[in-house]
Copies of this chain bind each other. A is one copy, B any other.
Amino acid sequence: MTHTEVVTFLVAISIMLFFARFLGEMFSKMRQPAIIGEIIAGILLGPTIFGNLLPEFQGMLFPQTGNVSLVLNGIVQLAVIMLLIVSGLEVNLVLIAKQGKTAVYTSVLGVILPFVLGFIPFYFFSEYFGAQHGDTLIFALFMGTALSISALPVIARTLMDMNLLKSEIGVIIIASAIVNDLFGWIFFSVIIGMITSGGSTNFLTQIGGIFLFLALLYFIGKPLSDRLVPRLQEKFSYPGSILSYIFIAGLVAAAMTEAAGIHAIFGAFMAGVVIGDSSHLKEETREIIHQFVTNIFAPLFFISIGLKVDFFAHFDPFLTMIVLVLGIVGKVAGCGIGARLGGMSMSESIAIGFGMNSRGAMEIILGLLALQAGLINEAVFVALVVLALATSLISAPIMSYFLRKVKKYENLAEIFDPELVIFTGEHGREAVLRELVAKLEQRVAANGESGFSTDKFYKTMAAPVLIPGLALPHAKLPVKRPWLAISISDGGYYYEEESEEPVNITVLLVSPEDKPELHLHLLAEIASVFAEENAVERIKALKDAQLIREFFTEKL
């Protein structure tokens, strides 16, 4: 580079880093993902705004051809590889195993539905949407993938900001996003291979190549890496040797996949996954890489997106609307239905759907590659960036709204269910209990839970008569939330043969077996309800489920 080119390069990169980070920090302050600010910074500085106002000056600062542009692109390319290594490091495979069923349902449906919704219209109307490559199938496959891919880094960041990262919902979303990303990347790599080879590569060869790479990684790379990490930390400089190792491994994997026609970033990502999975990798090392990459290199990539395309000139409202609707409906519905099938409540499922809906990093990288390869035109690219921005923006507020509706089932008021109040005509202990348990079993099953059954209940229940007139059979079972069922008997029954007073109220409590302290807490709450004077008599007199609920909850 000449002297003038070096100056241009330094000025360009300082301005890019400053604006990207400044707007990124502003969006962080508004509890939005920083990536939105970074992309918007690019739109402001790129041909869309700055270039429209002062085209010559903009072209001077950010030249589109020549040495400066080439070097900047090279650095951005390295930045993307670094970003993918870091994203891979954040993947926690153990999480998936733990949240298995729900995560798999959520992610599989969350991939399939938007993929199908994206594939169909773009396959049948590909010319209308400006498929440039001529190969309708690749174009439609690309659109399906672009709509189905999620953005683990953006999602993780949003959950972190909402203080949900370690909650049950957070863990399910992260695990689903990981599975989603793994699927998405395999699709992505196949399509990229088809694009770069101009469609000449056989689909099966491509898939074969990916699975060969994954097999090599799993059977050779992973055991090797798991042994290497602790040895490096022990025998060589720390954290220096590990930092270098992570980057060298990422770059080697990137070179391998790129050479095999799968694309560099798939290798970088998978190398990150494998290394991040080692239990020996220290949090401090992860932190150094994470901080450096997210604060220096990732912003350079995200701002560079806006520098390439004029978002106004290529904005196609109809196309954008279609992409937005298909992308959001497909992802939210797919993930939401998956989560519901996986046993989550309605509100939780919707929250999970919107949590998974954030796009960002990956989708834009994919779009950029397709744009460069001539597979899509600028209008489609702009629509995809808008989808990324819009979905990331709405994710946090909508999740908050639905999670506010989600009961945590942590006190009597939240678990009291008027449907489970029976005014019984039975008079024997067995009959009253059988009726109550049957009702509960039916109700739990209707809620999509399978953790409760009459058999299990009878096997584990304890049934003290707490105060005269009240029986309290209770058990800890593999249910997901506590349940409260109440039977009120006017005449009463004798719980034990030697009992002196009849029981009028039977309160049945079932709590999740993995939350023993919650069980105790709920028993204590029940006890405090019946600690009121003449509680049994007063409840018996109410004759109405809603009034009984008030009695149970007014004090709490």
A134 within 8 A of B: no
* Contacting residues, chain B, for A244 (C-beta < 8 A): 17, 21, 295-296, 299
B74 touches A3 (CB 8 A): no
* Contacting residues, chain B, for A13 (C-beta < 8 A): 78, 251
Given A255-B7, A255-B10, A258-B7, A1:B77 Cβ within 8 A: yes
Question: A293's closest neighbor in chain B, by CB?
Answer: B292
Question: A13's closest neighbor in chain B, by CB?
Answer: B251
CB distance from A121 to the nearest CB of B (A): 31
CB distance from A35 to the nearest CB of B (A): 13
Given A3-B196, A240-B294, A10:B251 Cβ within 8 A: yes
A292 touches B294 (CB 8 A): no
Determine, out of A65-73, A219-227, A437-445, the stretch whose residues face the partner at the interface.
A65-73
A21 touches B248 (CB 8 A): yes
A248 touches B14 (CB 8 A): yes
Range of interface residues on A (Cβ < 8 Å): 35 or more
CB distance from A358 to the nearest CB of B (A): 19
A292 touches B299 (CB 8 A): no
Bitwise, A26-43 to B at CB < 8 A (1) or not (0) is 001100000000000000
* Contacting residues, chain B, for A71 (C-beta < 8 A): 70-71, 73-75, 77
Given A17-B248, A18-B248, A264-B6, A288:B292 Cβ within 8 A: yes
Set B17, B72, B255, B259: member contacting A247, Cβ < 8 A: B17
Q: How many copies does the complex hold?
A: 2
A237 touches B70 (CB 8 A): no
* Contacting residues, chain B, for A29 (C-beta < 8 A): 236
B240 touches A10 (CB 8 A): no
A75 touches B78 (CB 8 A): yes
Contact sample, A vs B, 22 pairs, CB 8 Å cutoff:
A3-B261, A6-B77, A6-B264, A7-B255, A7-B259, A10-B81, A14-B251, A14-B255, A17-B244, A21-B240, A29-B236, A67-B70, A70-B74, A71-B74, A71-B75, A74-B74, A239-B291, A240-B291, A241-B295, A243-B292, A244-B296, A287-B288
Set B1, B11, B25, B236: member contacting A74, Cβ < 8 A: B1
A385 within 8 A of B: no
A6 touches B258 (CB 8 A): yes
A291–B244 Cα distance when bound, in Å, is 10
